[in-house]
Amino acid sequence: MKVTVKLFASLREGRFDEAALDLGEGATIADAIALARLREGEVTVIFRNARHAEPAEALAEGDTLSLFPPVGGG
């Protein structure tokens, strides 16, 4: 299945802004994160189709993931 992955902020450094990933049926958000070669802890905010999501959630054909690093500031 095809899933679009969008990276934001520091996750883009040395990587892509947006990519279409090909994952097997039953793949999870965590599988997509691993396929995008992101390390555990790099991604702390996840949106699936513009709604908050968790790494263990199953993906479906055509989903769009938006991945963000830890947010800081003040």
pLDDT at 40: 81
Question: Total domain count for the chain?
Answer: 1
| CATH number, domain with residue 9 | 3.10.20.30
pLDDT digits (tens, 9 = 90+) for 4-47: 999 999 999 999 999 999 999 999 999 999 999 998 889 999 99
- Say yes or no to pLDDT of 73 above 70: no
Residue 74 lies in a domain: no
Q: For residue 73, is it within any domain?
A: no
Q: Is residue 60 part of a domain?
A: yes
29 and 10 Cβ atoms separated by less than 8 Å = no
Supply the range of the domain harboring residue 29: 2-68
Instruction: Kindly state the DSSP code that residue 59 receives in the 8-state scheme.
Output: P
Could you tell me the pLDDT band of residue 74, with boundaries at 50, 70 and 90? low
Q: Is 0.95 topped by the overall pTM?
A: no
